[in-house]
Amino acid sequence: MRSVLLIAPHNSYRIHAYIEAAGHLGIKLVVASQSEYSLVSAVADGIQINFSDDAVSLERILDADQQHHFKAIISSDDGGVRLAAKVAKALGLSANDSDSAELTRRKDMARERLKACGVPVPDFRTVDLLKPILQQIFDLAYPVVIKPLAMSGSKGVIRANDQQECVSALNRVEKIIQYVSNADERHKVLIESYIEGKEIAYEGLLHRGQLNLLTIFDKPDAMEGPFFEETYYVTPTRLSSKEQALATARVAETCKAYGLREGPVHAELRLQNDEAYIIEMASRTIGGDCADVLKFGLNIGLEELVLLQALGKPIETPALDNSVGVLMIPIPSQGVLRRVEGINRAKKVTYIIDIGISVREGYELVPLPEGSSYLGFIFAKAPTAKLVESALRQACSCLTILIAPSFKISNG
């Protein structure tokens, strides 16, 4: 049986999906993570690594390879892409270069590379939080967006419309990143011009440098800030053929600029005045449980496509049979989740296929920008994208989220 190594944080949404996909394909999946006490047996019984120490992690994985003889290495999340690239290189397997993978994780480095390669980017700069702030932002043209250098899920991303808001946002982001292990990522942030326009998510697969479009998700809700919470994703896109071609060309240019050649690509773009701007691009699949709605051909899921390609067996991906969509249920406020009411009523809405609540009752909810997770997901499938969006909105309106205040006990 062929063995594939999955590098994933212990709390990744995608671990279970990859385990299921590997089972369907007759592949032995070994998980490398950082939680020997995980309730997920594949994580607890897998390879214990340290995401902050590539050298130690690489040594442990190479030792494990003596037993498993890995044929491919994949990463579920941004935090593992650099390590996955290093492991693949050490084992002589096809993969992206570790420096290329790092560009998909570090927003400042990515912007510098795209600018150097002539790919359109918004005006941007890096601000050092250890130096006087006003001297670094006095000439900014507003609005702007402040971003941590290496966080995902819109965590720490804040729009500012003037200097006062910018200083306030910087102070807030500084607290969010204060425990990051990397010094640059702990003390510096990226500031870039806010881009108006339609936002989309682009899902693709790279094989030997050739980009294959899987699908484009529309994001029907305007994402204008001050925080940038993802909500509705609907596909196939309702963009024009010209806009779709522009998005594909921009993603392909970005892959080339980064030096990416293999594996999944998830890109966020904004379209404005016949131009497409990369907001972010990751060398992984779409986050959360969103990939669950994507089934190609004979019920082949996204993770199965990734596994097959990693093993050197890419397959043609026919168009989706129906329109599908997902709502990432927002966290409305901070506090302790009491319960979510109306789930059964929401499930009865026409075209809704499933609803999953990810947070257990009694657990604390942390909204953006400090948080980065979702309350749960609503999935829909219908003959048209319009019907999908309507069903998701109707189902969401059925839900009542009851949250109790949370109280912090301070020492002294």
Q: Tens digits of per-residue pLDDT, 274-296? A: 999 999 999 999 876 787 788 76
Residue with tokens 């047996």: 41
Confidence of residue 411 (pLDDT cuts 50, 70, 90): low
* Separation of alpha carbons 294 and 215, rounded Å: 9
Q: Which residue in the block uniquely carries the two structure tokens 């709390």?
A: 11
More confident residue, 317 or 374: 374
pLDDT higher than threshold 80 for residue 199: yes
210 φ/ψ angles, rounded to the nearest 5 degrees = -95, 125
pTM of the entire structure?
0.93
Asked if residues 220 and 240 have their Cβ atoms less than 8 Å apart, the reply is: no
Positions of E strands within 3-154: 3-7, 28-33, 47-48, 70-75, 124-128, 144-148
Domains of the chain: 3-95 (3.40.50.20), 97-119+196-290 (3.30.470.20), 123-193 (3.30.1490.20), 323-411 (3.30.470.20)
Q: Which phi-psi region, left, alpha or beta, contains residue 69 (left: φ > 0; alpha: ψ -120 to 50)? A: left
- pLDDT given for residue 297 in this prediction: 59
86-116 confidence digits (pLDDT tens): 999 999 998 899 999 999 999 999 999 999 9
